[in-house]
Amino acid sequence: MAMYDNRCLSLSVFALTLLLLASTTTQEEEEESPITRFQQYLRIKTAHPNPDYESAVSLLTSQAQSIGLQAQTLEFAPGKPLVLVTWPGTNPSLPSILLNSHIDSVPAEPSNWLYPPFSATRTSEGKIYARGSQDDKCIGIQYLEAIRNLRFSHNFKPLRTIHISYVPDEEIGGVDGSAKFAASEEFKDLNVGFMLDEGQASTTDEFRVFYADRWPMRLIIKAVGLPGHGSRMYDNTAMENLMKSMEVISQFRGNQFDLVKAGLAASSEVISVNPVYLKAGSPSPTGFVMNVQPSEAEAGFDIRLPPTAEPDLLKKRIADEWAPATKNMTFQIREGGPMRDYMGRPLITAANDSNPWWCIFKQAIIAAGGKLAKPEMLASTSDARFMRQLGIPTLGFSPMIETPILIHEHNEFLKDSVFLKGIKVYESIISSLSSFDGGNTFGSATA
Ligand SMILES: *[C@@H]1O[C@H](CO)[C@@H](O)[C@H](O)[C@H]1NC(C)=O
Ligand SMILES: *[C@@H]1O[C@H](CO)[C@@H](O)[C@H](O)[C@H]1NC(C)=O
Ligand SMILES: [Zn+2]
């Protein structure tokens, strides 16, 4: 029995030690901080095609409530919730400030990552690895952390009401997310005067800011022609006509790209045209039938236009040169949201002194000890276009300096120090914007 007792004792001591170790670790993990709250959000698998919106909604709601903010869930399409957080201003009749971010992210291939993409692993260098760490769960949490500090450390009270929106589906076009939100009665009731949305990391010590997005247009070209023996040369086969069309498109693409290479335009200022798929041929058990010229051929393109481009000119070019009906070619265009605002103007937010919101934003960055790079157009597309369409001045901004641009890439990470500095920057921006006493003249209708 004594032997058993001894073993029992040593076992229980061991177990106790383990328990102590375990409880210390748990305590450390549960010690809430801006970083751990960021990690909690990063660990929710909100990647397409099956984003876990439910868990994200409950996390964001509880984080908002923990700082005494109202949070409501709106749903404009089944299973696609949107969280709207509100901090009422002392003068709620003034147009409000909206801080937007999207909950969803693009998929990640774990085998290409140093750490599992939803582990939010923080390395000894302070890099936090996760899908969504830059795009754009960082800003989603920074908004809340900045407000937490303004409320509890600075006893700040906003003049204008501040809203934060967490929207679904940005990465798949925003149709059931921001597009429906912007068109809703609920949105109209927010009386938004100015909006901040996501931006991109900067590799230098200057913050980047975006005043316009490029407009996405998906193009599919189809060619048909008489099929024939693979040995015969004759005119106007589907393949020949599609190949000629590809040559013309390549020429156009090359001319646009040359402007960028020569330093005459930023890549966001030209029309990009990139082939994304080719489809033709008759499948056979071993691959493709090699001695028949097919009667159909098809190609798809991702096209992005700067906001000042004339889509009608490009459409004419497509009809006349890229997919001429005289060559038995047809085309389909899918437009990615609005190209002009409700007054027919390009979707551009003035990033100069004519826009008081711009001045306040710029001053706030400087006040936080930051430097601002020359404002840019975003080469890709964000939800901001839906709000610019309503005439609401909107800037794209994510406070990440000295950070490699890793959106949609393997091993996306953000350094903890960059994340924390971003909270300070938002404290300055949010307090400045929400204190702006511009009267009622800067509403969504007049801005
Ligand atoms: C268009 O296709 C039809 C049949 O698919 C063919 O008869 C005609 O010759 C083609 N025309 C051209 C210009 O390729
Ligand atoms: C400000 O920017 C807008 C939009 O880019 C432009 O139309 C306007 O001319 C600029 N105004 C000044 C004073 O530079
Ligand atoms: Zn994004």
Query: Residues 223-268: pLDDT tens digits?
Result: 999 999 999 999 999 999 999 999 999 999 999 999 999 999 999 9
Instruction: Say if residues 122 and 135 touch (Cβ distance below 8 Å).
Output: no
Residue 440 domain flag: no
| Residue 384 lies in domain | 34-209+351-435
pLDDT number for residue 30:
58
Same structural domain for residues 382 and 295? no
Whole-model pTM: value is 0.84
Atom of ligand 1 nearest to the CA of 235: 14
Same structural domain for residues 258 and 359? no
Same structural domain for residues 174 and 264? no
Same structural domain for residues 58 and 184? yes
Residue 130 domain flag: yes
Of the candidates 301, 335, 369, which is a domain's last residue? 335
Q: Give the integer Cα–Cα distance in Å for 181 and 443.
A: 18
Sheet strands (E) in 249-360: 272-280, 283-284, 287-288, 292-293, 296-305, 329-335
Residue 3 domain flag: no
What average pLDDT score do residues 46-62 get? Answer: 98
Q: By alpha-carbon position, which residue is closest to atom 14 of ligand 2?
A: 352
Distance (angstroms) between ligand 1 centre and the Cα of 226 equals: 6
Q: Is the pLDDT of residue 215 over 50?
A: yes
Q: What is the CATH number of the domain that holds 258?
A: 3.30.70.360
Same structural domain for residues 331 and 426? no
- Ligand 1 contacts CB of residue 328 (under 6 A): yes
Q: What is the CATH number of the domain that holds 156?
A: 3.40.630.10
* Sole residue written with tokens 């936090």: 128
What average pLDDT score do residues 121-145 get? Answer: 98
Cα 447 from chain centre: 24
What does the mean pLDDT of the chain come to? Answer: 92
pLDDT number for residue 355:
96
Residue 383 domain flag: yes
What average pLDDT score do residues 195-210 get? Answer: 98
Distance (angstroms) between ligand 3 centre and the Cα of 444 equals: 24
- Ligand 2 contacts CB of residue 74 (under 6 A): no
Same structural domain for residues 191 and 251? no
Same structural domain for residues 309 and 365? no
Q: Which residues contact 330 (CB under 8 A, 6 or more apart)?
A: 221, 222, 323
Q: Is the pLDDT of residue 21 over 60?
A: no
Q: 110 falls in which pLDDT band (50, 70, 90)?
A: very high
Supply 144's token pair.
């809340």
Domain count, the chain: 2
Q: Is the pLDDT of residue 135 over 60?
A: yes
Query: Tell me: the pLDDT tens digits for 365-417?
Result: 999 999 999 999 998 889 999 999 999 999 999 999 999 999 999 999 999 99
- DSSP secondary structure code for residue 172 in this structure: G
What average pLDDT score do residues 100-105 get? Answer: 98
Same structural domain for residues 188 and 62? yes
* Sole residue written with tokens 């706030």: 364
More confident residue, 442 or 8: 442
Q: Is the pLDDT of residue 3 over 50?
A: no
Query: Tell me: the pLDDT tens digits for 62-92?
Result: 999 999 999 999 999 999 999 999 999 999 9
Burial of 340 (0-12, 13-18, 19+ CB in 10 A): middle
Query: Tell me: the pLDDT tens digits for 326-341?
Result: 999 999 999 988 899 9
- Cα distances (angstroms) measured from residue 311 to each of 82, 333, 438: 32, 11, 36
Active site residues: 104, 170
Q: Give the integer Cα–Cα distance in Å for 146 and 429.
A: 9
Residue 48 domain flag: yes
Same structural domain for residues 331 and 430? no
- Ligand 1 contacts CB of residue 244 (under 6 A): no
Q: Give the integer Cα–Cα distance in Å for 355 and 344.
A: 19
Residue 10 domain flag: no
Same structural domain for residues 401 and 264? no
pLDDT number for residue 31:
83
Instruction: Say if residues 154 and 147 touch (Cβ distance below 8 Å).
Output: no
Of the candidates 311, 335, 359, which is a domain's last residue? 335
- Ligand 1 contacts CB of residue 236 (under 6 A): yes
Confirm or deny that 109 is annotated as ligand binding: no
Residue 281 domain flag: yes
Confirm or deny that 135 is annotated as ligand binding: yes
Same structural domain for residues 102 and 141? yes
Same structural domain for residues 51 and 123? yes
- Please name which ligand lies nearest the alpha carbon of 330: 1
Element holding 255 (H helix, E strand): helix 238-261
Closest listed residue to residue 100, CA positions, set 389, 409, 384:
384
- Return the minimum-mean-pLDDT range out of 12-16, 275-279, 376-380, 439-443: 12-16
pLDDT number for residue 237:
97
Q: Which residues contact 228 (CB under 8 A, 6 or more apart)?
A: 234, 237, 292, 293
Supply 420's token pair.
């924390």
Residue 446 domain flag: no
Q: Is the pLDDT of residue 443 over 50?
A: no
Distance (angstroms) between ligand 3 centre and the Cα of 407 equals: 8
Q: Which residues contact 432 (CB under 8 A, 6 or more apart)?
A: 360, 361, 363, 364, 367
Q: Is the pLDDT of residue 350 over 60?
A: yes
pLDDT number for residue 27:
46
